């Protein structure tokens, strides 16, 4: 269910001067898919739906695909509001151990390497109570944290480790080369 926002959504909607077009565009603006100016929020981004325990889409993550976004632009995009849902909930239901990365891109990097028991936080400080509840409901026993090997990444991994250990889970860190995240490391090793 991955997607790509290629600036054609507006062309596929009924015209704004029609009742159906105005209503649909207004709803998409309320959700955050369209910005108030009518442009696609995720334009130029690969998009990833995030589900809750009832399999409803509760958040969307977008990753810009250009190497150098415009000055001030963020490479990581989300719908407005709180970050909800847990990426790859199916992994939690079928495994007793799970790898937690900082981002969906890092998690998908492991997925592409045939490592399926992976999920991600919403950034270094984005492991939510919803993640914790899902881990507990699915009886996750062992967590491997694969955050960026930077000072903020190491600090966040230590904090998450203490939080999960406090809930009775075994916690281990995956040590990456200094300055790299999972995807950076995979790309550097692939020679691309």
Q: What percent of the chain has pLDDT over 70?
A: 95
Query: Over 80: is that where the pLDDT of 70 sits?
Result: no
Least reliable range by pLDDT among 56-60, 66-70, 89-93, 109-113: 66-70
Write the pLDDT tens digit of every residue in 111-134: 999 999 999 999 898 999 999 999
Q: What is the mean pLDDT of residues 27-54?
A: 89
Q: What percent of the chain has pLDDT over 90?
A: 56
Which one has a higher pLDDT value, 76 or 117?
117
DSSP string, 74-122: -SEEE-SS-----TTHHHHHH-SEEEEESSHHHHHHHHHTT--SEEE-S
Which one has a higher pLDDT value, 25 or 99?
99
pLDDT at 67: 67
Q: Calculate the CA dihedral of residues 18, 23, 27, 30 and round it to 10 degrees.
A: 90
Q: What is the mean pLDDT of residues 23-47?
A: 90
Q: What is the mean pLDDT of residues 25-36?
A: 90
Q: How far apart are CA 161 and CA 170, in angstroms?
A: 9
C-alpha angle with apex 47: 46 to 51, nearest 5 degrees? 155
pLDDT at 17: 76
Least reliable range by pLDDT among 12-26, 65-79, 113-127, 137-151: 65-79
Q: What is the mean pLDDT of residues 168-181?
A: 95
Which one has a higher pLDDT value, 62 or 53?
62
pLDDT at 183: 92
pLDDT at 73: 65
Mean pLDDT across the chain, nearest whole number?
89
């Amino acid at each position: 269910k991955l997607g790509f926002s290629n600036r054609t959504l507006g062309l596929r909607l009924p015209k704004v001067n029609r009742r159906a077009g105005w209503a649909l565009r207004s709803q998409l603006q309320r959700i955050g898919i369209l910005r108030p100016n009518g442009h696609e929020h995720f334009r130029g981004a690969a998009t990833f739906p995030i589900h809750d325990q009832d399999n409803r889409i509760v958040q969307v993550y977008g990753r810009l695909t250009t190497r150098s976004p415009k000055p001030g632009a963020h490479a990581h995009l989300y719908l407005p509001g709180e970050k909800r849902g847990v990426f790859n909930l199916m992994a939690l239901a079928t495994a007793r151990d799970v790898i937690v990365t900082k981002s969906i891109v890092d998690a998908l990097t492991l997925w592409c390497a045939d490592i399926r028991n992976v999920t991600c936080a919403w950034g270094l400080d984005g492991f939510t109570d919803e993640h914790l509840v899902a881990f507990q409901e699915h009886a996750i026993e062992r967590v491997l944290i694969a955050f960026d090997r930077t000072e903020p990444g190491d600090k966040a991994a230590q904090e998450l480790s203490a939080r999960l250990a406090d809930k009775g889970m075994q916690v281990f860190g995956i040590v990456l080369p200094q300055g790299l995240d999972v995807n950076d490391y995979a790309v550097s090793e692939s020679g691309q």
